[in-house]
């Protein structure tokens, strides 16, 4: 096992552990903080893939800005009710294993073939700012511009839902 492999296993297992901890933490703030930790491990995976820019953005935007927003919301709403393991939802407890079984049935053939997947793709890009941003402003210009429309629509929506009603 090379150092690279060891780091891959460390980051991915830590990421999975954080994901599970997000789900089972009793406190919403603890859940959010485990999510930050998970984001940092994910950034580690990006670094292993030589996606430098993505790793940086992952930490700056997700672990930084977005999670701070999450924490604000969690603290503002101040959940008193503690979450429990058993919700008494029989359908959920029966359905979840079924869904997981179906997912495994779909993904098991993939895992069997994992060796073949490990072949490196034909083209390998180093994730520098230039390599990431050139397609954004050439081939994917249209979807990037449409993202601005989505943001505008979301902003209008937030203003509509959030403003005080002046007229009855």
Partner 1 sequence: MNLHTAILLLPDALLLAAPFIVLFVDLFFNPQHDARPVRRTLTVTLLAVLAATGAALAWGAPEVVFLNAYRVAPWMLWFKACFAGAALVAARMAEPCFAGAEGQPARLTRPGEFFTLLAFAAGGMSLTLSARDLITLFIGLELATIPLYVLAGYYRRHEDSTEGAMKYIIMGSLATAFVLFGYSLLYGAAGHLQFDALAAHLAAHPGDPLVRAAALFIFTAAAFKLALAPFHMWAPDVYHGAPLPVAAFLSTASKAAAAGFLVVLFYGPLAPIRPALAPVFAILAAVTMLVGNLGSLRQENFRRFMAYSSIAQAGYLLLAFLAERDFAVGALLYFLTVYLIANLAAFFVYALVRGEGVAAVNGLARTHPALAAVLLLAFFSLAGIPPLAGFNGKFWLFTAAAGAGRYGLVLFAVLNAVVSLYYYMNVIRAAYIEPPPVGRSVKVPRDVAWLLALLAALLLGLALCPAFNRAVFAAAARP
**Which chain residues interact with partner 1 by CB under 8 A?**
106-107, 109-110, 113, 117, 121-123, 139-143, 146-147, 149-150, 152-154, 156-161, 163, 165, 167-168
Q: Which is nearer to partner 1, 23 or 110 (CB)?
A: 110
CA distance 19 to 42: 11
Question: What minimum distance in Å lies between the beta carbon of 136 and partner 1?
Answer: 10
Instruction: Return the ∠ at Cα 157 (arms to 153 and 162), rounded to 5°.
Output: 150
| Sign, Cα dihedral of 116, 119, 121, 125 | positive
Tell me how many degrees the CA angle 61-120-45 measures, rounded to the nearest 5. Answer: 25
Is 10 or 140 the residue whose CB approaches partner 1 more closely?
140
Nearest distance from C-beta of residue 87 to partner 1, angstroms: 16
Nearer to partner 1, 88 or 109 (CB): 109
Nearest distance, CB of residue 139 and partner 1, angstroms: 6
- Round to whole Å and give the CA distance between 99 and 97: 5
**Least Å from the CB of residue 147 to partner 1:** 6
Q: Which is nearer to partner 1, 20 or 146 (CB)?
A: 146
First to last CA, the chain: 70
């Amino acid at each position: 096992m090379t150092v690279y492999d060891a780091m891959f296993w460390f980051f991915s297992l830590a990421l999975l552990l954080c994901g599970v901890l997000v789900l089972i933490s009793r406190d919403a703030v603890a859940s959010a903080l485990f999510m930050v930790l998970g984001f940092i491990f994910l950034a580690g995976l990006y670094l292993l893939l030589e996606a430098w820019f993505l790793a940086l953005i992952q930490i700056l935007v997700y672990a930084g800005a977005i999670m701070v927003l999450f924490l604000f919301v969690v603290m503002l709403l101040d959940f008193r009710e503690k979450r429990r393991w058993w919700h008494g939802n029989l359908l959920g407890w029966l359905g979840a294993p079924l869904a997981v079984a179906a997912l495994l049935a779909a993904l098991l053939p993939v895992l069997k073939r994992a060796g073949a997947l490990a072949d490196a793709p034909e083209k390998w890009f180093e994730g520098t700012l230039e390599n990431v941003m050139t397609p954004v402003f050439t081939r994917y210009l249209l979807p990037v511009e449409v993202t601005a429309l989505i943001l505008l629509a979301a902003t209008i929506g937030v203003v509509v839902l959030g403003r005080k009603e002046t007229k009855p």
